[in-house]
A and B are shown apart, each in its own frame.
Chain A
Amino acid sequence: MSANQHSLLLDRGNLKRRNRFNKAVEITSTTAAVLAVVVLVIVVGSVFLKGVSALSWHFLTTPTALFGESGGGISNAIVGSAIMVAIAAVMAIPIGVLVAIYTTEFAPPSIAHPVRFVLDILNGVPTIITGIFVYGLIVVPQGHQSAFAASLALAIIMLPIVARTAQEVLTLVPGTLKEAAHALGIAQWRTTLRITIPTAAGGLITGSLLAVARVAGETAPLIFLSSIFGQGMLTAPGEALASIPIFIFRSSESPSSTAHTEAWAAALVLIAFVLALNIVARAFYARSRKRMGA
């Protein structure tokens, strides 16, 4: 090789500048990433530090004390939240998954695309508006709040999350599998049921869990739909039920410092639940990706 050719490899003067720019971009993006993690650590850390002192077995297993009394717990709120989220999940997950199956497996693109767009808009609707909508739909005609109404609002919030994640996962199922099934003479519905859904199962579970985690902490619609409830352990979905978000909301409004600590403790319970769901969801997602050879 001649010296001439080597000179092509030499610095043309902007090498230092390029290196500095590279460095700058690297440092800024790293800082942003660190910041995000720091925020999470501060939130979880402060909730933990402020709430852990009030957290006890008694706190988790006792219903909220009467107004003005101390020593109560959040068992009624946990049960109420669980009931409402469970009903919402039962409504939203099957419908969401079916919507996804329809758009990915059966609908022509001319229908699938608008459906996807509508789901995205639904996902963007502020939850307080969903709350007002259900309030007008159920609470006003019935004349009283109910856990069922809250569940319906939560289900409406969950639906686009479930459907969109399910769509993503179902489109990840390799076309070669469906092709193989068709070539074996397996009918379309059977292919969907026996091949596509089992293959995507992990991802479908992931989407559902994330949707559950998302609505477990949802507060705004509950204020309209299930915030005026009776004392003690209530379980009938026909009436308003206690919930963790409302408990946190109420306790933080209270002037008592004990109530504040209890609000932190309840927040800790909620955050732990959401974190746990996210971790489980990740595990399912990893399994699903492995299956689909991604």
Chain B
Amino acid sequence: MDVSKDTTESAAMTESSPDPQANPQTGSGFAGPSMAVAGSAGQGSVKRNRGEGTVELMGLNAYYGSTHAVRGVDLGFAADKVTAIIGPSGCGKSTMVRCINRMHEEIDGARAEGQVLLDGLDLYDSRIDIVAVRRAVGMVFQKPNPFPTMSVFDNAVSGLRLTGVSRGELDDRGREALVAAGLWEEVKDRLKAPGVGLSGGQQQRLCIARALAVEPEVLLMDEPCSALDPVATLKIEELIGELKQRVTIVIVTHNMQQAARVADTTVFMLDGELVEVGPTEKLFTTPDDDRTEQYVTGKFG
């Protein structure tokens, strides 16, 4: 995760620790800490300003009525990383992801048990405000779903409007989100045009901008490219690579090549259970579990 940052900081510490009094005087002694500060500040401007964005599932079970969709999953999602979840249809991967922003419980008869920790805080704690959870954990859906009554710009800031953000700040944040979603250059001349007038790929990036505008720590993507053509898909994948600098990304995908292309870590699920978690290259070259092997090589699915 933040290994590089940690090492610079600890290096700076060891450098200054022998003689903290004298160090600020000497130019070279000062260079270490000041660079570390500049480094972290530079990172902070693109990165979240609140927590780290580490998500941990502990003993997570999810149900639809009597259907046990997710069975006792323990799993961590590292900040600054893209984690892909693969598995055959109905294996519970979408359900598991929807437990992270508590969208799962929106469905009648659905419930979840266990813990979902965001930077150590249990999102299922009774004192937690569900609205705050949704803002900390953004989501992008299968089909692009910009709000049809809103313009491109209004779509981008639609999540912000309810927080009493000032007009001027709204403009900045909306623009920033559109830039982050790689859409600004394409839409800057038609911000007032309807969001649904954009192409499918642009609409999906608009939805990503909409999710980013509220500055979440985690971004969940539920098969975000399944309705897009290959070129639009590649653009989104490219974008995911850039976005992992600022949010923890969890992507559910049916497309194993997509998981292989975008994810640092890949998770394989089957029948609601976690089968294997590992670095993507490991999972796609030498998986440990036979079921993973059979699934990724297409022997069943």
Contact = CB atoms under 8 A, between A and B. Distances in A.
B296 to A, nearest CB: 30
A179 B133 CA distance: 15
B106 interface: yes
Contacts of A195: 147, 149
Interface stretch (B20-28, B138-146, B181-189, B283-291): B138-146
B147 A180 contact: yes
Contacts of A176: 141, 143, 145
A193 to B, nearest CB: 11
A209 to B, nearest CB: 20
Contacts of A182: 103, 106, 134
Contacts of A199: 147-149
B145 A180 contact: yes
Given A176-B141, A179-B141, A186 B147 contact: no
A187 B196 CA distance: 23
A198 interface: yes
Interface residues of A, number: 22
Most buried by B among A184, A187, A292: A184
Interface stretch (B79-87, B206-214, B234-242, B266-274): B206-214
Given A179-B106, A190-B162, A195-B147, A184 B134 contact: yes
Contacts of B207: 180
Given A190-B162, A199-B149, A180 B214 contact: no
A232 B38 CA distance: 85
Interface in A172-187: 174, 176-177, 179-187
Interface in B164-211: 196, 207, 210-211
Contacts of B41: none
A183 to B, nearest CB: 4
Contacts, number: 66
Contact of B148 (A181, A184, A186, A291): A291
A143 interface: no
Contacts of B134: 182-185
B132 interface: yes
B184 to A, nearest CB: 20
Contact of A174 (B108, B145, B158, B162): B145
B148 to A, nearest CB: 5
Nearest to A174: B145
Interface in A198-213: 198-199, 201
Nearest to A185: B134
A292 B148 contact: yes
Interface residues of B, number: 26
A198 B154 CA distance: 14
B145 A186 contact: no
Interface in A106-149: 108
Q: Which 6 A-B pairs have the closest CB atoms?
A: A185-B134, A184-B159, A183-B139, A198-B149, A185-B135, A176-B145
Given A179-B103, A179-B106, A184 B145 contact: no
Given A182-B134, A183-B141, A291-B148, 6 more contacts: A176-B141, A182-B103, A184-B214, A185-B131, A186-B158, A186-B162
A293 interface: yes
A174 B159 CA distance: 18
23 contacts: A108-B108, A176-B145, A177-B145, A177-B147, A179-B141, A179-B145, A180-B147, A180-B207, A183-B139, A183-B211, A184-B135, A184-B211, A185-B130, A185-B132, A185-B133, A185-B135, A185-B162, A185-B214, A186-B159, A187-B131, A198-B149, A201-B149, A291-B149
B195 to A, nearest CB: 11
A182 B211 CA distance: 11
Contacts of B248: none
Interface string A271-294: 000000000000000000001110
B101 interface: yes
A284 to B, nearest CB: 14
A53 B210 CA distance: 61
Given A186-B162, A187-B131, A180 B106 contact: no
B103 A293 contact: no
A179 B138 CA distance: 12
A203 B284 CA distance: 51
Interface in A65-118: 108
Contacts of B148: 177, 199, 291-293
A70 B101 CA distance: 75
A186 B135 CA distance: 9
A185 B159 contact: yes
Nearest to A108: B108
B200 to A, nearest CB: 12
Contacts of B149: 195, 198-199, 201, 291
Contacts of A181: 147, 158
B214 A183 contact: no
A183 B158 contact: no
A18 to B, nearest CB: 41
Contacts of B158: 181, 184, 186, 194
Nearest to B142: A176
A186 B139 CA distance: 13
